[in-house]
Structure 1
Amino acid sequence: MPKISRTGLSVPASPIRKLVPYAEEAKRRGVHVYHLNIGQPDIPTPDGALAAIRAIDVRTIAYTHSAGIASYREGLAQFYTRRGLPLAAGQIIVTTGGSEAILMGMLATCDKGDQIIVPEPYYANYNGFAAEAGVEIVPVRSFIDDDFALPPIAEFEKLVTDRTRAILICNPNNPTGYLYSPEELRQLREIVLKHDLFLMADEVYSDFCYDGATHCSVLSLDGMDEHVIMMDSISKRFSMCGARIGALVSRNPAVIDAALRMGQARLCAPYAGQVAAEAALHTPEDYFATVHDEYKARRDFMVHALRGMEGVKCPLPRGAFYTIAELPVDDADRFAQWMLEHFEYKGSTVMVAPASGFYAAPETGRHQVRLAYVLNIDDLKGAMEALEAGLKTYPGRTC
Structure 2
Amino acid sequence: MLPLNPALAATFRPPVMEARRWLAGLSFPPERPLINLSQAAPVEPPPDPLRRAMAEAALERPDAHLYGPVLGRPELREAVAGEWSRAYAGAIRPEEVAITQGCNQAFCAAIQTLAAAGDEVILPTPWYFNHKMWLDMQGIRAVPLRCGPDMVPDPAEAERLITARTSAIVLVSPNNPSGAEYPGETLRGFFDLARSRGLALILDETYRDFDAREGAPHDLFADPDWGDVLIHLYSFSKAYRLTGHRVGAVIASPAHMVEIEKFLDTVAICAGQIGQIGAAWGMANLRDWLAGERAEILARRAAMAEGMAALPGWRVKGCGAYFAWAEHPFDMPSSELAQRLLREAGVLLLPGTMFMPEGDAEGARHVRIAFANADRDGIAALMRRLEAFRP
Please confirm whether the aligned pair reaches a TM-score higher than 0.5, indicating the same fold.
yes
Amino acid at match of 1:148: M
Which residue number corresponds to residue 106 of structure 2?
101
The DSSP-based 3-state class of the residue aligned with 2:176 is: coil
Shift of residue 207, structure 1, vs aligned partner: 1.2
Shift of residue 286, structure 1, vs aligned partner: 1.9
Contact 1:12 1:127 in 2 (8 A): no
Q: Could you report, residue by residue, the CA deviation over 1:168-215 in whole angstroms, capped at 9, with x for unpaired residues?
A: 100111111111112112211221121111010001111112265752
For 1:213 and 1:136, how far apart are their aligned partners in 2?
Answer: 35
Shift of residue 283, structure 1, vs aligned partner: 2.9
The structure 1 residue matched to 2:366, chosen from 354, 368, 382, is 368
Shift of residue 24, structure 1, vs aligned partner: 4.1
The DSSP-based 3-state class of the residue aligned with 2:118 is: coil
Contact 2:123 2:171 in 1 (8 A): yes
Contact 1:63 1:268 in 2 (8 A): yes
Structure 1 residues 307 and 28, CA, compared in 2 at 3 Å: closer, same or farther? closer
Range 79-88 or range 134-143, more displaced: 79-88
**1:162 correspondence with 2:159:** no
Structure 1 residues 16 and 384, CA, compared in 2 at 3 Å: closer, same or farther? farther
Amino acid at match of 1:199: L
**1:383 correspondence with 2:382:** yes
Shift of residue 54, structure 1, vs aligned partner: 1.1
Amino acid at match of 2:383: M
**1:126 correspondence with 2:123:** no
Structure 1 residues 221 and 138, CA, compared in 2 at 3 Å: closer, same or farther? farther
Q: Could you report, residue by residue, the CA deviation over 1:126-171 in whole angstroms, capped at 9, with x for unpaired residues?
A: 111112222111011014xx221222x3311211101001111001
Which residue number corresponds to residue 397 of structure 1?
none
For 2:78 and 2:36, how far apart are their aligned partners in 1?
Answer: 37
Within-5 A mapping of 1:269-348: 269-315=271-317, 317=319, 319-329=320-330, 330-341=332-343, 343-344=344-345
Amino acid at match of 2:34: V
For 1:254 and 1:16, how far apart are their aligned partners in 2?
Answer: 35
Contact 2:70 2:270 in 1 (8 A): yes
Shift of residue 87, structure 1, vs aligned partner: 1.5
Which residue number corresponds to residue 270 of structure 2?
268
**1:16 correspondence with 2:16:** yes
Structure 1 residues 133 and 380, CA, compared in 2 at 3 Å: closer, same or farther? same
**1:147 correspondence with 2:157:** no
The structure 1 residue matched to 2:82, chosen from 75, 78, 94, is 78
Shift of residue 49, structure 1, vs aligned partner: 2.4
TM-score, normalization: structure 2? 0.92
The structure 2 residue matched to 1:207, chosen from 209, 215, 225, is 209
Which residue number corresponds to residue 39 of structure 2?
38
For 2:201 and 2:120, how far apart are their aligned partners in 1?
Answer: 13
The DSSP-based 3-state class of the residue aligned with 2:98 is: strand
The DSSP-based 3-state class of the residue aligned with 2:325 is: strand
For 1:213 and 1:142, how far apart are their aligned partners in 2?
Answer: 25
**1:356 correspondence with 2:353:** yes
Shift of residue 304, structure 1, vs aligned partner: 1.4
Q: Could you report, residue by residue, the CA deviation over 1:3-52 in whole angstroms, capped at 9, with x for unpaired residues?
A: 42202212312333312122243237776211111112246524442112
Contact 1:315 1:324 in 2 (8 A): yes
Which residue number corresponds to residue 49 of structure 1?
50
Which residue number corresponds to residue 249 of structure 2?
247
For the aligned residue pairs, the C-alpha RMSD in angstroms reads: 2.0
For 1:297 and 1:43, how far apart are their aligned partners in 2?
Answer: 18
Amino acid at match of 2:281: A
Shift of residue 328, structure 1, vs aligned partner: 1.1
Number of matched pairs: 382
Range 69-78 or range 197-206, more displaced: 69-78
Range 103-112 or range 60-69, more displaced: 60-69
The DSSP-based 3-state class of the residue aligned with 1:216 is: coil
Which residue number corresponds to residue 73 of structure 2?
69
Shift of residue 247, structure 1, vs aligned partner: 0.8
TM-score, normalization: structure 1? 0.90
Q: Gapped runs of 5+ residues in structure 1? A: 395-399
Which structure shows the higher helix fraction?
A: 2
For 1:355 and 1:214, how far apart are their aligned partners in 2?
Answer: 30
Q: Could you report, residue by residue, the CA deviation over 1:228-271 in whole angstroms, capped at 9, with x for unpaired residues?
A: 10011101121221110001111x22211100111121311112
Shift of residue 388, structure 1, vs aligned partner: 2.1
